[in-house]
Amino acid sequence: MTMTAEPTTETDSRVAAVRPSIARLTSIELRKLTDTRAGRWLLATIGLIAVAIAVVQLFVLDDAEQTFTGFLAPSLLPVGLLLPVVGILSITSEWTQRTALTTYALVPHRERVVLAKLAAVVLAALASVLVSLAVAAAGTLAAKATGGAGSWDGEWALVLNAAVIQLVNVLMGAAFGLLLLNTPLAIVGYLLLPTVWSILAAMISALQGPANWLDTSITMEPLYGNEMTAGQWGRLAVSVLAWVAVPLVAGLLRTLRREVS
Amino acid sequence: MIMVEHLIKRYGPHTVVDNVSFHCEPGTVTGFLGPNGAGKSTTMRMICGLTPPTDGSATVAGRLYRQLPNPGREIGVLLDASAQHSGRTGRETLALAATTMGVDRSRVAEVLDLVGLNAVAARRRVGAYSLGMRQRLGLALALLGDPRVLILDEPANGLDPEGIYWMRGLLRDFADRGGTVLLSSHLLREVEAVADRLLVIGGGRIVAQGGRDELLADTGTLVRARDSHALWLTLQRAALDATADTNGGFVVHAEPGVVGQAAADAGLVLTELRPAAGGGLEQLFLTLTAGATTKEAVK
Please tell me the least confidently modeled range out of A191-200, B88-97, B260-269.
A191-200
Beta strands B75-78 and B149-153, pairing class: parallel
Strands B221-225 and B180-185: unpaired
- What per-residue confidence (pLDDT) applies to B210? 87
Query: Mind listing the pLDDT tens digit for each residue in B131-177?
Result: 999 999 999 999 999 999 999 999 988 899 899 999 999 999 999 99
Q: What is the pLDDT of residue A20?
A: 93
Dihedral of CA atoms B150, B151, B153, B159 in degrees, nearest 10, equals 0
Instruction: Of A101, A110, A53, give the one whose Cα is nearest residue A76.
Output: A53
DSSP SS3 for B254: coil
Asked whether the beta carbons of residue B100 and residue A93 sit closer than 8 angstroms, the reply is no
A1: which chain B residues are within 8 Å (Cβ-Cβ)? 25, 27-28, 196
Cβ partners under 8 Å of residue B176, min gap 6: A2, A4, B27
The confidence score (pLDDT) of residue A4 equals: 40
Q: Which of A78-82, A203-207, B148-152 has the lowest mean pLDDT?
A: A203-207
Question: Is the CB of A21 inside 8 Å of chain B's CB atoms?
Answer: no
- Going from N- to C-terminal start, the domains of chain A cover 20-257
Of the two residues B161 and B219, the one the predictor is more confident about is B161
Alpha-carbon gap, residue A183 to A181, rounded angstroms? 7
Average pLDDT over all residues of chain A? 87
What average pLDDT does this structure show over A241-248?
93
Is B215 within 8 Å of B195 (Cβ atoms)?
no
Residue A9: pLDDT band by 50, 70, 90 thresholds? very low
pLDDT at B277: 58
Residue of B68, B70, B139, B154 to mutate, testing the A interface (most A Cβ within 10 Å of its Cβ)? B70
With cut-offs at 50, 70 and 90, classify the pLDDT of residue B219: low
Angle CA B207–B210–B211, to nearest 5: 145
pLDDT at A11: 43
**Does the pLDDT of residue A23 top 80, yes or no?**
yes
Per-residue pLDDT tens digits for A106-154: 999 999 999 999 999 999 999 999 999 999 999 999 988 887 777 887 6
The 10s digit of each residue's pLDDT in B94-134 is 999 999 999 999 999 999 999 999 999 999 999 999 999 99
